[in-house]
Amino acid sequence: MRAALLVLVVALFAGCPGPAIQDAGTDGGSSDSDAGADAGTDAGVVQRDLDVAVVKLTRAGVLDTTFGAGGKTVVDLGQATGGARDTVYSLDVDAMGRVVLFGSTKAATGSDTDRFVTRLTTTGAVDTTFATNGTFRVVGAGTSDNQRHGLVQSDGKILSAGYTSLPTGAIQADGGVQSANAIVLVRLDSAGVADTTFGTAGVVSINPFPPTGTATLWGMCEAYAAVQQSSGRYVTGGYGRVAASGPVDVASIRLENNGMRETTWNTTGAITIDLIGADERARHVSVLADDRIVFAGSGTPLTGNIDALVAIRSVDGAADTTFGTGGTKLYSFGRNDEAFWSSAVGPGGMSVAVAGYRVGAANTATENDDGVLAIIPVSMGAPAEFAEAVPMSDGTHDRFFGVAWDGMQVVAAGFVREGSDTQFAVARFNQDGTRDTTFGTNGVVKVNVTVGGGTEEVARWVKVLSDGSILLAGPTEH
């Protein structure tokens, strides 16, 4: 396994001419709070170490004590250094019920972050038969590798989506070598070994925006998720820009199953969605039963105003003109900063659920952050659309980051902040948007993974199992 890991390092970083210059204008480099994954949850607080937490609930919303320690498993992948801490972005479950986690951790050496894939047994223990002692790492040579969502395929293979700042070879005005964020996908087999039938040693890195016209510098592109169409091809969802700097647009490419770029996607080989020349971002992507693609994120209809966004594309990337305006629809929830962060396709492919948050402009008890939810019909005969703010609390901050279906109901997960403490939170909704009051307390369950742990404890993803039990994953402070 160690040899396979070294091959991945070569595939990603061989030939890097000098230190990377981090591309700006993405997460943390933009002025809008949509650019920050957990903005508002830990502002002004000294950062402490983070671990990866997984929680299992019964369908009724009670901790499942057969999993981990009292329904909770905490995985520590290493001590934090500065901002390089353990975090998890999503999870999936394989055919045997084992839990696969996708996230980032501090590099073994240096202060950058490495991508990881970790597998747990059905009872919540680290599965040491997977990769090396249960964890596969992509090690970067001093450059942070940013993992986002991942998936377990029906054949058991595992795909990880994310992005890394890589040298382009272009020379900047200051004489330095430009680095720009590029899409990086990694595929493993079911044992956690790099799949050498995919890309180079299991890795594909692509920046689809080379210099154009008189420009000499590259643009950038990030993948927040990737899905697989029935053809076996992969479609990414994220954001990027054609120029070296400036606003970003929703961006997507398509790859063959072996990782080769597929150039007929949207006829040009790439999708970009731009409304008024400001920022548009996809934070998640789903595939419908007919292979149409759904992007969920945010868009800017007016300067200073960010709305939640959904865009639907055909099997080959063309805009689905039956949806919204030219295939794109914005959702306003009464605030000037809103975004969807997740999407999930309902039973029979009739509807899509998307969840996220709206930011409280006043940031007070009378206007705080709230979760938002939309249930969108995408097929004939589906129930009418629902799209509203659905706060889990009346006087405190709450947000959604993950969403899943439980039969004809929708489960959304994120956090609720109570005083200085933030807790995992999950709510279950009927298809008309009302809360299922048989779940937890008035339709909401809160879990304090680390009691008194501090302000950064966020359920980043949710998965509903076939028996209705619920898995939550996210970072927790200690």
When pLDDT is averaged across residues 75-97 and rounded to a whole number, the result is 83
The pLDDT, as a whole number, for residue 105 is: 87
The pLDDT, as a whole number, for residue 334 is: 93
Beta bridge partners of 92: 100
Contact 75, 101 (CB under 8 A): yes
Pairing of strands 421-429, 398-406: unpaired
Sheet strands (E) in 229-336: 234-241, 249-252, 254-255, 261-262, 271-273, 281-287, 293-302, 305-313, 328-331
The pLDDT, as a whole number, for residue 5 is: 46
Q: What are phi and psi of 128, to 5 degrees?
A: -75, -5
Contact 401, 460 (CB under 8 A): yes
Q: 149: how many CB neighbours lie within 10 A of its CB?
A: 27
Q: Is 322 exposed, middle or buried (0-12, 13-18, 19+ CB in 10 A)?
A: exposed
The pLDDT, as a whole number, for residue 288 is: 97
372, pLDDT greater than 70: yes
In whole angstroms, give the CA distance from residue 294 to residue 331: 15
Going by C-alpha positions, the residue among 378, 337, 410 that lies closest to residue 35 is: 337
When pLDDT is averaged across residues 79-97 and rounded to a whole number, the result is 83
Confidence of residue 131 (pLDDT cuts 50, 70, 90): very high
State the chain's mean pLDDT as an integer.
88
Confidence of residue 15 (pLDDT cuts 50, 70, 90): very low
397: left (phi over 0), alpha (psi -120 to 50) or beta: beta
73, pLDDT greater than 60: yes
Q: What is the pLDDT of residues 435-455, one digit of tens each?
A: 999 999 999 999 999 876 566
The pLDDT, as a whole number, for residue 142 is: 62
The pLDDT, as a whole number, for residue 441 is: 96
The pLDDT, as a whole number, for residue 40 is: 36
In whole angstroms, give the CA distance from residue 181 to residue 218: 10
Confidence of residue 420 (pLDDT cuts 50, 70, 90): confident
229, pLDDT greater than 80: yes
In whole angstroms, give the CA distance from residue 476 to residue 478: 7
The pLDDT, as a whole number, for residue 144 is: 77
Query: Kind and range of the H or E element at 6?
Result: helix 2-13
Of residues 54 and 419, the one with the higher pLDDT is: 54
49, pLDDT greater than 90: no
Edge to edge, what strands does the sheet with 135-138 contain?
A: 87-93, 99-106, 113-120, 135-138
pTM: 0.91
Query: Kind and range of the H or E element at 2?
Result: helix 2-13
Least confident of 144-148, 260-264, 276-280, 355-359: 144-148
Share of the chain above pLDDT 70, in %: 85
The pLDDT, as a whole number, for residue 83 is: 61
In whole angstroms, give the CA distance from residue 132 to residue 108: 14
Share of the chain above pLDDT 90, in %: 76
Q: Tell me the domains of the chain and their CATH numbers.
A: 2-477 (2.130.10.10)
